[in-house]
Amino acid sequence: MLYTFIHTIHIYSVFIYGGFLFVDILFLSKIKQSLSEEEHKKAREAIMIHVRKVVPYSLMVAVASGLYLFSQVFGAISENGMSYFQIVLSIKAFLGLWLGFRGINQKFFGIQPWIFKAHLFPFSLVALIILLSQIMYL
């Protein structure tokens, strides 16, 4: 029951984080085509004020709940080494932890990424993590 509850929370928090990245890349970045530079800055900041209250925390919840889920399903490593499931799950965990580390640095310490400053790279990682979650049970 606890696993199902935390798994549900994990899915919702990933939807919030990944959904924002999706909207930012496909829609918010296109606002500048319709508005002047000053209007674009005002419109984007008006949206980002609300985004900053929710999205970073949803990322942290996704990472924390993901760590719990990882601990519950990873299992023991056999004498033959890690299984396909364990390898893919480890890759997912690494990518998720990287996103979480990046988000915590930005939110709490004001450290901006040195590379991949746009949201396209984090969105690509989220898409890759989702893809990996679908193929790890093969």
pLDDT tens track of the chain, all 138 residues? 999 999 999 999 999 999 999 999 988 888 888 999 899 889 989 999 999 999 999 999 999 999 999 999 999 999 999 999 999 999 999 999 999 999 998 888 888 877 767 788 899 999 999 999 999 988
Domain ranges of the chain: 2-135
The DSSP secondary-structure symbol of 34 reads T
Q: What is the rounded distance in angstroms from the CA atom of residue 85 to the CA atom of residue 132?
A: 10
pLDDT in the model for residue 29: 84
Residue position matching structure tokens 């990287």: 98
Residues 33, 95: Cα–Cα separation, whole Å: 33
The sign of the torsion formed by the CA atoms of 22, 27, 53, 48 equals: positive
pTM listed for this prediction:
0.88
Q: How far apart are CA 110 and CA 122, in angstroms?
A: 17
pLDDT at position 133: 93
pLDDT of residue 92: 97
Task: Tell me the torsion sign for CA atoms 54, 55, 61, 65.
Answer: positive
Give the integer Cα–Cα distance in Å for 22 and 125: 12
pLDDT at 118: 79
d(CA 123, CA 28): 14
